[in-house]
Amino acid sequence: MNTIAPNPKRPWLSHPRIRKVIVPAAIAVILLLLWQAVVTAGKVPEYIFPSPLVTLNTLYEDWGLLGPSLLFTLKITLLSFLMATVVGCGIAFLFVQSRAIETAFFPYAVLLQVTPIVAIAPLIIIWIDNTVLALVVCSTLVALFPIISNTTLGLRSVSPNLLAYFKLRQASRLQVLWRLRIPSALPYFFAALKIASGLSLVGAVVAEFVAGTGGSNTGLAYQILQSGYQLNIPRMFAALILISLTGVVLFIAMSILSKLAIGHWHESEN
Amino acid sequence: MSINAVIKAFDHSEQMLEEHPQNDGVAPAIELLSTDKVYNNGTRALLPVDLKIKQGEFVTLLGPSGCGKSTLLKMVAGLEEPSDGRLLLWRKPINQLANNGRTLSFVFQEASLMAWHSVRKNVRLALELEGVKGKEADERVEKVLKLVGLEKFSEALPKELSGGMQMRVSIARGLVIKPDLLLMDEPFGALDEITRYKLDSDLLDLWQRNGLTVIFVTHSIHEAVFLSQRVIVMAARPGRVVADIKIEEPFPRKAEFRMQPRFTEYAMQLHDCLVSASTEDEL
């Protein structure tokens, strides 16, 4: 005789969504506790390696300095991320129109990717008077390649049968692009956004290091440099933590955006 | 022979075709006149084929992998260019199909649905690309979904459907534009046998009710016997037509037909044809 076992209530911790948040958060807490314990037990001076509590305290006390710097770095990051997205998608659309265009220009896109930004940033800063614009351009160059590369790949990765189907229905190039290529490319595009958002931040910080600007245009990189000169290591750690948290928040934002846009149909978001 | 003479002879043959339909009075919907296919890399996919398919006929292309049956089907659809010979649909070159007021649909081996669209939107897209919109499009989509038994799943996404249901959506997408010619490239090849039998019967029902001309590609002998009025047997290396066999069994064909001795006889005949063609290859 077949009997159906009663379905036991699922433990709340086994829920995938909760696990996705709880597990990394638990690891973060453990690492912070370990960090605090090592520094306290070893009596490590704060100008060598500040504890999490000291860093947190510095973050609170120096917020008047660090807050505006965070906003400045965020402004450069978001502007360059937006610019990289717009320019990258434009170039990808152009590449998909013809293999000849792609073959002719793709090596130059690769050139942008492989040239270290620290090597060309001084030139860009000399050429462009406006510091904010110069930093945005530097950061855009860092974030651009994944958008071009992934979006081009996505626009080309269309099911051959669906493409044949659109051909049979005598669809125009615009219809194929709008109704088939763009939706097919979305998973690739959102993967690129996740990478590019982090690279925009890296680009912004590196460009700030090279520019080394003072006055009102001071980002977190400048605060790190200054803290280094003044041996204010807790502030350096506080600035570093702000940069890391910004990167994590950007990644989470892109993941949520991706989930909202393609989560209902694409398996990568399940 | 000068080029002018060749063109004159060509025009004359076209005129003859238009003036003299087939002797049995039913005009051919599809005519392949010494049509062959050689790919750019030199691979000969298909030796010259001469074939006429009548309006309303259900014809199956049967053969092993690599015999050129899909290539032949794609040439009829205009997805592949013939290397030589002529291919006419309703007595006109394929690029004049729309001018003829005729349409064709192609059902692929995979359902090939747009994963981001619901069933209804997948089917409706075919109409939107044809310029049919609004209430008329909605009504036609609803009707065709009812026809394939998916009216209750119109808002489902493809990933929420079984393989058989996805294939029904693909067929609905093909039928919604009311095609004169339905081309099907091993559409049920990836399905389990029970689903396949069911879809075979449904397809025959749709064919009879809508007066379609169907070319169906398969490598299943039993499917070919059950569905077809004519089976074009093909062989590989190089791809070629080796036999044209009529299945003279009345319609509607019920599932019991599969159990009858006549069914087995036809299946044996097709099997022998395929075996002798492959033996010729080996020799």
**Domains of chain B, residue spans:** 3-103+179-282
Q: Which of A252, A196, A197, A246 is nearest to A221 (CA)?
A: A246
The domain defined by B3-103+179-282 carries CATH number 3.30.200.20: no
Torsion on CA atoms B17, B19, B21, B24, rounded to nearest 10: -140
Backbone φ and ψ for A152, nearest 5 degrees, come out as -60, -45
Q: Which of B12, B167, B29 is nearest to B91 (CA)?
A: B29
Lowest mean pLDDT among A104-108, B15-19, B266-270: B15-19
Beta bridge partner(s), residue B217: B61, B185
Name which of A179, A186, A266 is nearest B125 (Cβ-Cβ): A179
The alpha-carbon radius of gyration of chain B (Å, integer) is: 20
| B-chain residues near A180 (CB < 8 A) | 114
> Residue B129: which of A175, A183, A267 has the nearest Cβ?
A175
In sequence order, the 6+-apart residues with CB closer than 8 A to the CB of B31 are B17, B51, B52, B53, B86, B87, B88, B91
| A168 to B115: CB separation less than 8 angstroms, yes or no | no
- Please determine, for residue B113, whether its predicted confidence score (pLDDT) is greater than 90: yes
C-alpha distances in angstroms, B96 versus B93, B101, B102? 6, 9, 9
Confirm if B232 and B241 have CB atoms less than 8 A apart: yes
**What is the pLDDT confidence band of residue A210, given thresholds at 50, 70 and 90?**
confident
Spatial distance between the Cα atoms of A240 and A66, rounded to a whole number of angstroms:
11
Beta strands (DSSP E) in chain B are: 28-38, 44-54, 58-62, 84-89, 92-93, 104-107, 181-185, 213-218, 230-235, 240-246
Q: Kindly report the nearest CA distance between residue A14 and chain B, in angstroms.
A: 25
CA distance B42 to B46: 12
Q: Mark residue B123 as left, alpha or beta (left: phi above 0; alpha: psi -120 to 50; beta: remaining).
A: alpha
Residue with the larger pLDDT of the pair B196 and A84: A84
C-alpha–C-alpha distance, residues B44 and A195, integer Å: 46
Look-up: residue for tokens 């747009």? B114
- CA nearest B60: which of B179, B227, B191, B207? B227
Name the band, by pLDDT with cuts 50, 70 and 90, for residue B22.
very low
Q: What is the pLDDT of residue A94?
A: 94
The answer as to whether A29 is a domain residue is no
Q: Are B235 and B61 in contact (CB under 8 A)?
A: no
> pLDDT band at A1, cuts 50/70/90?
very low
pLDDT of residue A270: 67
Of A161, A169, A267, the CB nearest to B129: A169
A7 located within any domain = no
Give me B25's structure tokens. 């009075």
Question: Is residue A113 classed as helix, strand or coil in its secondary structure?
Answer: helix
Q: Which chain B residues are Cβ-neighbours of A179 within 8 angstroms?
A: 125
Residue A145 has pLDDT above 90, yes or no: yes
Q: What band does B237 get if pLDDT is binned at 50, 70 and 90?
A: confident
Q: Tell me the DSSP string of B219-242.
A: S-HHHHHHH-SEEEEEETTTTEEE
State the smallest CA–CA distance between residue A264 and chain B in angstroms: 8
Among all residues of chain A, which has the CA nearest to that of B173?
Answer: A165
Give CA–CA dist B46/B85, Å, rounded. Answer: 12
What tokens does A152 get?
């081009």
Amino acid occupying residue B41: N
The dihedral built from the CA positions of residue B92, B96, B99 and B105, taken in this order, carries a sign that is positive
* Closest residue to B115, CB basis, from A161, A170, A265: A265
Measured in degrees and rounded to the nearest 5, phi and psi for residue A258 equal -60, -45
d(CA B143, CA A208): 63
Taking the C-alpha atoms of residue A142 and residue B47, their distance in angstroms, rounded to an integer, is: 55
Does A177 contact B at CB distance below 8 Å?
no
| Number of structural domains chain A divides into | 1
Question: Is residue A57 included in any domain, yes or no?
Answer: no
CA-based nearest residue to B104, from A183, A199, A219, A169 = A169
Cβ proximity of B94 and B87 under 8 Å: yes
CB contact under 8 A, B112 and A262: no
Give the mutation candidate from A161, A172, A178 for the B interface (greatest B CB count, under 10 A).
A161
- pLDDT of B241 higher than 90: yes
Question: Can you tell me the distance from the alpha carbon of B70 to that of A156, in angstroms, rounded to the nearest whole number?
Answer: 24
Alpha helices, H only, chain A: 16-42, 52-61, 63-97, 99-114, 117-127, 131-156, 160-168, 173-176, 182-211, 220-229, 233-262
Q: Do A162 and B112 touch (CB under 8 A)?
A: yes
Which of B95, B106, B122 should be substituted to probe chain A, the one whose Cβ sees the most A Cβ atoms within 10 Å? Answer: B106
Name the residue with higher pLDDT: B76 or B194.
Answer: B76
Mutate to test the interface with A, among B76, B79, B186 (most CBs of A within 10 A): B79
pLDDT above 60 (res A112): yes
User: Is A265 in CB contact (< 8 Å) with chain B?
Assistant: yes
Give pLDDT, residue B12. Answer: 43
- With 0-12 / 13-18 / 19 or more C-beta atoms within 10 angstroms meaning exposed / middle / buried, residue A8 is exposed
Amino acid at B111: A
Spatial strand order in the sheet of B230-235:
B104-107, B181-185, B213-218, B58-62, B230-235, B240-246
Length reported for chain B: 283
**A242 band by pLDDT with thresholds 50, 70 and 90:** very high
User: With contacts defined as CB-CB under 8 Å, which chain A residues touch B114?
Assistant: 162, 180, 183
Q: How far is CA A2 from CA A6, A7, B7, in A?
A: 13, 15, 79
A262 interfacial to chain B (CB closer than 8 Å)? yes
Which residue, among A188, A252, A234, A253, has the nearest Cα to A56 in the 3D structure? A234
Residue A124 in domain: yes
Mean pLDDT of chain A: 90
Question: CB contact, 8 Å: A39 with chain B?
Answer: no
Helix (H, G, I), strand (E, B) or coil at B114: coil
Return the CA Rg of chain A.
24
Domain of residue A156, CATH code: 1.10.3720.10
Select the more confidently predicted residue: A184 or B2.
Answer: A184
> What's the CA gap between A195 and A198, in Å, rounded?
6
pLDDT, tens only, A2-52: 455 555 566 777 777 777 788 888 999 999 999 999 999 999 998 899 999
Res. B271: pLDDT tops 90: yes
User: Cβ contacts (< 8 Å) between A168 and chain B: which residues?
Assistant: 77-79, 104-106
Cα(A188)–Cα(B240) distance, integer angstroms: 42
- What's the pLDDT score for residue B17? 43
Write phi, then psi, for B28 (nearest 5 degrees): -70, 140
Pure H helices in B101-192:
119-129, 134-147, 163-175
Q: What pLDDT was estimated at residue A9?
A: 65
- What integer pLDDT is reported at residue A147 of this predicted model? 96
Residue in B99, B109, B116 to test binding to A, most A beta-carbons within 10 Å: B116
Structural domain boundaries, residue A124:
70-262
* B210 — pLDDT class (breaks 50, 70, 90): confident
